[in-house]
């Protein structure tokens, strides 16, 4: 590839990466709003989360089409091809995380305007949301910095979310005898499941980081893949 053409290619690829990282920033904002709407039972804010998902969907299409066009025109190889392929995965993970934020927001209007709630369950959900936020922020940073060790650390955060998810389930079972809390509790359990999935997608971004750096794809060990080892050789 001529030097001038390669410079143009590198600039395009770098811009697509920045757009992808920006999508992860959008996810953080969506998650913040979805969790606030859930914990405070803010129906108006929940509607804003649903409406704002169009921006993230648009970013996904923009990056996805941009990467495919770049691959078709330039036929990248080696590290450039790995990065292009990883961007396709990361932007998809970001779009899916946004969908889960919407799922959380859509649960809010299903309950009464002032529903009876359980403080302990809300506390656990809030902690889950905080950990999920940390995961998305860390996933963005590790991909931007090509930091495999930071990517591997996402598994530790994900384990904490999985633990809180199980505690939420247990708490919903405990309060289910109260008919006034039963339906609300089931909605909160669905919210917890969506938060847990956001954490899983953050781990997936970490896996793409390791792929870009090493050229090898390996699923990290977490509660979803307990039999797999998180060892990645960053010198590969």
CATH of the domain at 17: 1.20.58.220
Q: Is residue 228 part of a domain?
A: no
Find the domain containing 40 and state its range: 3-214
Q: What is the pLDDT of residue 2?
A: 65
Least confident of 48-52, 123-127, 211-215, 227-231: 227-231
- Indicate if the pLDDT at residue 42 is higher than 90: yes
Residue corresponding to tokens 């931007």 = 144
Q: Note whether 187 and 110 are within 8 A (CB).
A: yes
Q: What is the pLDDT of residue 221?
A: 67
User: How close are the terminal C-alpha atoms of the chain, in Å?
Assistant: 26
> How many domains is the chain built from?
1
pLDDT band at 232 (very low <50, low <70, confident <90, very high): very low
Q: What is the pLDDT of residue 5?
A: 66
Q: Is residue 60 part of a domain?
A: yes
Q: What is the pLDDT of residue 162?
A: 96
pLDDT digits (tens, 9 = 90+) for 54-105: 999 999 999 999 999 988 887 767 888 899 999 999 999 999 999 999 999 9
pLDDT digits (tens, 9 = 90+) for 168-217: 999 999 999 998 899 999 999 999 999 999 999 999 999 999 999 998 87
Secondary structure (DSSP) of 178-218: SHHHHHHHHHHHHHHHHHHHHHHHHHHHHHHHHHHHHS---
Q: How far is 138 from 154, CA to CA, in rounded Å? A: 7
Q: What is the pLDDT of residue 228?
A: 42
Residue 2 vs residue 116, higher pLDDT:
116
Residue of 103, 129, 70, 86 whose CA lies nearest to 187: 103
Q: Note whether 161 and 67 are within 8 A (CB).
A: no
Q: What is the pLDDT of residue 17?
A: 97
Residue of 96, 101, 104, 95 whose CA lies nearest to 55: 95
Q: Note whether 27 and 97 are within 8 A (CB).
A: yes
Q: Is residue 192 part of a domain?
A: yes
- Indicate if the pLDDT at residue 234 is higher than 60: no
pLDDT digits (tens, 9 = 90+) for 114-156: 888 999 999 999 999 999 999 999 999 999 999 999 999 999 9
Q: Is residue 234 part of a domain?
A: no
Q: What is the pLDDT of residue 233?
A: 45
Element (H, E) at 146: none
Q: Is residue 113 part of a domain?
A: yes
Q: What is the pLDDT of residue 222?
A: 52
Where helices occur in the chain by DSSP H, the ranges are: 3-40, 43-74, 78-107, 119-145, 148-175, 179-214
Q: Is residue 205 part of a domain?
A: yes
What's the rounded mean pLDDT across residues 39-61? Answer: 96
pLDDT band at 163 (very low <50, low <70, confident <90, very high): very high
Least confident of 8-12, 79-83, 89-93, 159-163: 8-12
**Per the structure block, which two tokens stand in for 105?**
């927001």
Q: How far is 193 from 168, CA to CA, in rounded Å? A: 9
Q: How far is 108 from 192, CA to CA, in rounded Å? A: 13
Residue 233 vs residue 10, higher pLDDT:
10
Q: Is residue 75 part of a domain?
A: yes
- Please report, for residues 82, 95, 122, the alpha-carbon distance to residue 28 in angstroms, rounded to integers and kept in the order given: 25, 12, 20
Q: Is residue 155 part of a domain?
A: yes
């Amino acid at each position: 590839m001529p030097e001038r053409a390669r410079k143009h290619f590198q600039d395009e690829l770098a811009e697509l990466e920045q757009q992808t990282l920006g999508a992860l920033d959008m996810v953080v904002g969506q998650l913040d709003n979805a969790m606030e709407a859930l914990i405070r039972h803010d129906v108006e804010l929940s509607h804003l989360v649903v409406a704002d998902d169009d921006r993230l969907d648009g970013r996904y299409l923009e990056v996805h089409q941009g990467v495919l066009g770049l691959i078709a025109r330039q036929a990248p190889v080696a590290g450039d091809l790995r990065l292009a392929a990883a961007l396709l995965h990361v932007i998809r993970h970001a779009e899916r995380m946004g969908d889960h934020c919407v799922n959380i927001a859509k649960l809010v209007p299903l309950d009464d305007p002032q529903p009876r709630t359980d403080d302990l369950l809300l506390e656990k959900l809030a902690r889950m949301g905080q950990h999920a936020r940390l995961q998305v922020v860390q996933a963005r940073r590790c991909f931007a910095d090509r930091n495999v060790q930071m990517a591997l650390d996402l598994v530790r955060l994900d384990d904490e979310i999985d633990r809180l998810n199980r505690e939420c389930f247990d708490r919903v079972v405990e309060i289910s005898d109260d008919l006034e809390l039963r339906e609300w509790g089931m909605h909160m359990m669905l919210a917890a499941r969506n938060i847990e999935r956001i954490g899983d997608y953050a781990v997936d971004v970490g896996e793409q980081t390791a792929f870009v750096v090493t050229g090898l794809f390996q699923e990290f060990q977490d509660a979803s893949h307990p039999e797999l080892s998180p060892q990645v050789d960053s010198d590969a």
